[in-house]
Amino acid sequence: MARISTRKLTFLLASFAALGPMATDMYLAALPSITVFFDATVAQTQLTLSVYIAGFGLAHLIYGPLSDRFGRKPILLGGLLVYALAGLGCAFAGSITQLIGLRFFQAVGGAAGPVIARAVVRDLFDLAGAARALSYVSMVMGLAPAAAAVIGGYLTVWFDWRATFYAVSAYGLLVATAAVFLLVESLPDRDSHALRLRAMVRAFGQLFRSPVFIRNTLLGGFCYAGLFSFISGASFVLIGVYGVPVNRFGYYFGLVIMGYVTGAFLSGRIKSEAMLGLGVLAYFAGGAAMAGLVLAGVDHFMAVVGPMVLYMIGTGIVLPRSQAWALVPFPEIAGRASALLGFLQLTMGALAGALVGHLLAGSALPMAGTIGLSALAALGCFFWGRDARRRVLS
């Protein structure tokens, strides 16, 4: 099989990494409808999101060692099959409990995408190349959930909430087909010891002892915490609190995602490491502005959407760069490093999203407050990790 160009590879890796956002953003506008359909509480419906994020994070720990042992491509294809079948099952769920369970299995399958995408980037690129590649992957990946949010809103209005899960399953099958024909195995030497408990403990211990890995993972993790706080509460706040029509929700959500795409584009085009600091400042400014406007009682949806766009510009800059910094020192255990990074960051996101889901009660304050606190914590992590990043360059 012939190798594909770097640009085509970037698009392909972005389609893998977009599996998670597609499975969350496509059905966001349908969350209130699902609540009514199953006669569920808001907290129960939020579990379909929180359980997905938790399962997505846990599965990272499986795919990392598996891909180091058996290669990137076969593990990816197995995950995509599970993703598509579980998504189809979600459309036929007969209760909120069944939907929650099937969402977990959908997450387990979908987690193969970002783990393999990051591992392939580490297999093929150095620090500068990895940061640039992950930035472009993030930029392209951001377009898919923006479109998914708009499409999901119309599918919910034109049909019902089940249509969003049909669409996500179709996406999984499409990506699997592309991977079969276009993805070339990037791991030249497979680690026969990768699945041994002692080897996994040794690898994870090495990562936990690394200041550059932990501090940059936490920096990105607080970005995820704020992002999933917004994902968890956006439909209930914008539709339920501010009265945004269901079929218009996707446009405002897409505007927020375009902030992320803009940040990722800037991150890929401007190589200066000062960009990481500028990203953190934009991230912090957006989170602080949202919390301040909501606390001040500004009763308009743009009090949330406007600051979130700035917040997401910062996130688009920070996430790919912090992930590149965390992964590059560990080429020999790239799969396991990608797995642990994803697990820790998604766990932080899942906890923040679940917190917002339980605190929502007809107010934007729980979501805005959690996002503001996440931004403040990320600012602290940035300054905490400066010395560790300098040691990598020296």
Instruction: For residue 263, give the CATH number of its domain.
Output: 1.20.1250.20
- Kindly state whether residue 188 falls inside one of the protein's structural domains: no
d(C-alpha 316, C-alpha 257), whole Å: 9
Residue 306: give the domain boundaries.
8-183+194-389
Q: What pLDDT was estimated at residue 85?
A: 94
Q: What pLDDT was estimated at residue 142?
A: 66
- Kindly state whether residue 300 falls inside one of the protein's structural domains: yes
- Kindly state whether residue 3 falls inside one of the protein's structural domains: no
d(C-alpha 127, C-alpha 328), whole Å: 6
Q: What pLDDT was estimated at residue 270?
A: 62
- Kindly state whether residue 2 falls inside one of the protein's structural domains: no
- Kindly state whether residue 189 falls inside one of the protein's structural domains: no
d(C-alpha 380, C-alpha 191), whole Å: 37
Q: What pLDDT was estimated at residue 194?
A: 59
CB 179 within 8 A of CB 80: yes
Domain count, the chain: 1
- What is the three-class DSSP state of 270? coil
d(C-alpha 329, C-alpha 126), whole Å: 10
- Kindly state whether residue 394 falls inside one of the protein's structural domains: no
Number of H helices, E strands in the chain: 17, 0
| pLDDT under 50: residue ranges of the chain | 1-2, 393-394
- Kindly state whether residue 254 falls inside one of the protein's structural domains: yes
- Kindly state whether residue 1 falls inside one of the protein's structural domains: no
